Each structure stands twice: as structure tokens, then as C-alpha cells.
Amino acid sequence: MIALSATDVRTCEACWNAPVTAARHTETGRDLLCEECAEADYPRRVDLFPPLGIYGLPARKLTNDGRHGSGPPKTPPNLGPPLPNPAPAPSPPGTPPV
């Protein structure tokens, strides 16, 4: 059995099913694997906190053309019914708005 710290994963990083029983040392760190995955030399399937993301999320590049799209804001396709004119009277104090 290998010594695990409080922050180490307890489930195999290759199959995500079996408990960790082996450690494989690589140039990028330590892979915590079950015995079967270590003997078969399976690659680990997770990167915990890589430089540009968490859990193997791909790195995305932000562009300067706006948050959700380029160009000026657009109105929604269906604006719904018009607002009443004149506006309704406010609800009396202590009652929920209608």
C-alpha cells in the first residue's frame, strides 16, 4: 500500500472505479492508479488543476470582440405584449405586488 496525503485522490485516475493501490512516477508528477491499471500501463484520464483549467477542460482563448458575440446588442426576437399604459397603481403597503 502506498502512502497518500490528505489531498490525494482515493480512486484510480485511469478507471475511476477501483481504489488507489499503486503510484506511477512520471516527468509531470505522480499517477495514482489501481493495481490492474498500473500493470496494464493505462494513462490517467484526469488532470487535477492543470495550468489552464480543471479536470482536463480544454484551454479557451478569449477574444476582444465581446463576451457573447460581436457587434452591438440585439433585441430579442419576441418582445412579448406591450406594457400597460397608464401604469397600474402600486399595491397598498404590506401586501404582495400584483
- For residue 19, list its beta bridge partners: 11
- The answer as to whether 66 is a domain residue is no
Domain of 14? 1-58
Q: Rounded to two decimals, what is the model's pTM?
A: 0.47
- The answer as to whether 23 is a domain residue is yes
pLDDT score recorded for residue 54? 54
Mean pLDDT score, 27-50:
83
Q: Which three cell numbers stand for residue 76?
A: 430579442
Element (H, E) at 22: strand 22-26
pLDDT score recorded for residue 40? 93
- The answer as to whether 15 is a domain residue is yes
Q: Work out how many domains the chain is built from and give that number.
A: 1
Q: Is 36 helix (H, G, I), strand (E, B) or coil?
A: helix
Rg of the Cα atoms in the chain: 27
Q: Which three cell numbers stand for residue 70?
A: 460581436
Q: For residue 43, say if its preceding peptide bond is cis, omega within 30 degrees of 0.
A: no
Given a cut of 70, is residue 10 above it in pLDDT?
Answer: yes
- The answer as to whether 41 is a domain residue is yes
- The answer as to whether 8 is a domain residue is yes
